[in-house]
Homo-oligomer: A and B are copies of this chain.
Amino acid sequence: MACNKEIPQLAEIAANPLPKVEELIDWLASFGADPDGGVTRLLYSSDWAAGQSAMAVLMEQAGLTVYYDDVGNLFGRLQGSEQTGSTILTGSHIDTVKCGGKYDGAYGIIASLLALARLRQMYGIPKHSLEVVSICEEEGSRFPLSFWGSGNITGRYLPDAVPDVQDSAGTSLAAAMTAAGFGQGAYRPSLRQDIAAYIELHIEQGGTLEREQKTIGLVKGIVGQKRFTVELQGEANHAGTTPMAWRQDALCAAAEMIVWLEAEAKKRGEPLVATVGNITAKPNTSNVIPGNVTFTVDTRHADQQQLDEFCQQFLQQFQRIAEQRAIRIAWQEWLNDPPVAMHSALVEQIEQICRQRQIDYRPIYSGAGHDAQIFQKVCPTAMIFVPSHKGISHSPMEYTPPEALTAGIEVLTDLLYSLAYEGEPG
């Protein structure tokens, strides 16, 4: 695809923004186009800075008041007529994983900008202030921390306590932030008290909407997740001289656990998922019975109680399998993120919009983390999903068809109109 870095003509776009979505997404993807394919815009990198600068110009063209905060979040503000001091915020993250897709994050920012541009052109000044945000970081792909952008806006992170983390080259977060011109008080403080609602439009990153031929995913919540490492200790022994009946084969035990876990997760059904992503056997030699196996379990559910119950159940079952096989078992829970429900009144409003517009939708839980889960702690929050082709994301193969991109913007625009021009937020 040709990389066209000229700033698109926003006046023209705002007049009829929808056919321009793909063009703008391609244009934004040209900032950080990776020679290995896809887009790489890591926090505070030059490609990242170029992406934010380009978005700033686009926001200005759309008639918004543009500003950065002190960690590099970029805002475009449409001041409301009523001096309530509250702001309806919409957007997504500008950063990507390495060789990521064009849509993850970027679509939400472009869509929000187009929605604001259209609302301003069609309806003028809103009652309540509207802002589009291009969040500096969500992915955790440069530094071992995530939600740096939304975390600073909501108070999860504080400006005086920058986490002491380094990227793979040994550069600290603080040093990278300084080098990019942020973190020194040159911009507005990040922490906000005026956010009345946060709305995020995002690709699904799963294949459910496409399989069910739905255009919009009505996000009910973001699943909670727990991750474990399980270690099995049997007895390494000669593959030829040890009869089947006298083995303490740690890999056979692990296999029985994995088969059980999958069957039980299928039985319990959506939105539960359970994944053994990592497995290591020792000594891992073809003619030696594995004496030691370590594997991970990643399990997610929208309901905390059901997640807890499932974890308790599979750990009991693992213990039973281990006992029957005279295998020692130990496990460690090393991640425990609770589920986050989206704001029910907002979810209802989105549902009404879909019905009015006769857009096929389905309720859905997000199996991946999003900035919305950070905002939900401080304000009413909602997410809208559009389909991901084959469920692929974090890949140059990421794709969402144009009609779905358009539908997402229409739903977002309607919701923002309702909140900022009609409603009484917060």
Q: What number of copies of this chain does the assembly contain?
A: 2
Q: Are A207 and B246 in contact (CB under 8 A)?
A: yes
Instruction: Please name all residues of chain B whose beta carbon is closer than 8 Å to the beta carbon of A125 when the two chains form the complex.
Output: none
Q: Is A241 in the interface zone, CB < 8 Å from B?
A: yes
Instruction: Please name all residues of chain B whose beta carbon is closer than 8 Å to the beta carbon of A288 when the two chains form the complex.
Output: 275, 277
Q: Are A287 and B258 in contact (CB under 8 A)?
A: no
- Closest CB-CB distance, A138 to chain B, in whole Å? 14
A414 to B411, CA, bound (A): 94
Q: Is A251 in the interface zone, CB < 8 Å from B?
A: yes
Stretch at the interface among A5-13, A232-240, A345-353, A371-379: A232-240
Q: Is A425 in the interface zone, CB < 8 Å from B?
A: no
Q: Is A133 in the interface zone, CB < 8 Å from B?
A: no
A300 to B289, CA, bound (A): 13
Instruction: Please name all residues of chain B whose beta carbon is closer than 8 Å to the beta carbon of A249 when the two chains form the complex.
Output: 262, 275
Q: Is A245 in the interface zone, CB < 8 Å from B?
A: yes
Q: Are B270 and A204 in contact (CB under 8 A)?
A: no
Our pick among B227, B256, B269, B283 for the contact of A259 (Cβ within 8 Å) is: B256
Instruction: Please name all residues of chain B whose beta carbon is closer than 8 Å to the beta carbon of A368 when the two chains form the complex.
Output: 238, 240-241
Interface size classification for chain A: 35 or more
- Closest CB-CB distance, A232 to chain B, in whole Å? 13
Interface positions, chain A 177-235, Cβ under 8 Å from B, are 204-208, 211, 223, 225, 227
Q: Is A252 in the interface zone, CB < 8 Å from B?
A: yes
Q: 21 A-B pairs, CB-CB below 8 angstroms?
A: A206-B242, A223-B240, A227-B286, A237-B391, A238-B393, A239-B273, A240-B298, A240-B300, A243-B271, A243-B273, A244-B265, A244-B273, A245-B270, A249-B275, A252-B276, A255-B258, A275-B288, A277-B288, A278-B285, A279-B290, A280-B284
User: CB within 8 Å of B: which residues of A?
Assistant: 204-208, 211, 223, 225, 227, 237-246, 249, 251-252, 254-256, 258-259, 262, 265-266, 269-281, 283-290, 296, 298, 300, 366-369, 391, 393-394
